[in-house]
Amino acid sequence: MRKATIYFIFAIAGLLFSCNQKSNIQEDNSINALGDEKTSLVKNPLASDEDIKPIYLSTADFKKKIWDYDANPQEFVYQGELPCVIDFYADWCKPCKMVAPIMDDLADYYEGKVIIYKVNTDKERELASVFQVTSIPAILFAPMSGKPAMQPGALAKEDYVKIIDEFVLKLTTENSKKI
């Protein structure tokens, strides 16, 4: 009985300590876990003061803003004005819920450079099947030209920043220099 009491006290102390640590981390989110200032998500200085949230897409909106796969089924032809990132998710998915605040941060950080969209796979089954989304979250990265890339699974914020900077924005910048 005495050991159980001691274990209980340590468990409560550990819980309180971890809750305190979590709140400290949330207070300073301008520096990532690696301490790398390049990929830390500080609000875009050119952005507005309002929080920018990801835009929810229906299949019809997707065909207008991203790619009309009925009109051009053989080739991905991006129709947007800015490159984009599309988060395929479902409300019941726990990893999707972990990615959601990251996508919110990315929408703020990349305002005016990259548009962040969300597609609910339960509501937009046709769209999920076009991209063969069988596991969620699945994130589609679409530069202005070239083929998009799909990344299944939840990643750390720094990984998404790296992919956006090195794939989405780099391809967009390289292709605009060629024109």
38 and 9 inside one domain: no
Other beta carbons within 10 Å of 115:
21
CA atoms within 13 A on the CB side of 13: 6
Q: How far, in Å, CA of 102 to CA of 58, rounded?
A: 21
Question: Is the pLDDT reported for residue 100 higher than 50?
Answer: yes
> Is 135 found in the same domain as 82?
yes
Q: Are residues 10 and 53 in the same domain?
A: no
Residues 113 and 141 reside in one and the same domain: yes
Do both 54 and 66 map to the same domain? yes
Shared-domain flag, residues 22 and 105? no
Q: Length of the chain in residues, anyone?
A: 179
166 to 35, 47, 82, 163, 173: CA distances (angstroms): 19, 21, 16, 5, 10
Same domain for 15 and 91, yes or no, is: no
> How many domains would you assign to the chain?
2
Give me the active site residues, please: 93, 96
Comparing CA positions, the residue from 90, 97, 91 lying closest to residue 134 is 90
Q: What is the mean pLDDT of residues 117-127?
A: 97
Confidence at residue 150, expressed as pLDDT on a 0 to 100 scale: 97
The pLDDT value given to residue 1: 52
21 vs 85 pLDDT, higher one: 85
More confident residue, 19 or 143: 143
CA 127 – CA 130 distance, rounded (Å) = 5
pLDDT band of residue 5 (cuts 50, 70, 90) is very low
CATH of the domain at 63: 3.40.30.10
Let me know whether 86 and 164 are in one domain. yes
Q: Which of 32-41, 53-62, 66-75, 93-102 bottoms out in mean pLDDT, i.e. has the lowest?
A: 32-41
Q: For residues 85 and 131, state if they share a domain.
A: yes
For residues 22 and 99, state if they share a domain: no
Residues 81, 153 within the same domain:
yes
Asked if the model's pLDDT at residue 170 lies above 90, the reply is no
3-state secondary structure of 95: helix
Q: What is the pLDDT of residue 34?
A: 33
Task: Kindly indicate the confidence band of residue 50, based on its pLDDT and cuts at 50, 70 and 90.
Answer: low
0.75 cut: is pTM over it? Answer: no
Pair 120, 89 in one domain? yes
Instruction: Identify the domain containing residue 19 by its residue range.
Output: 1-30
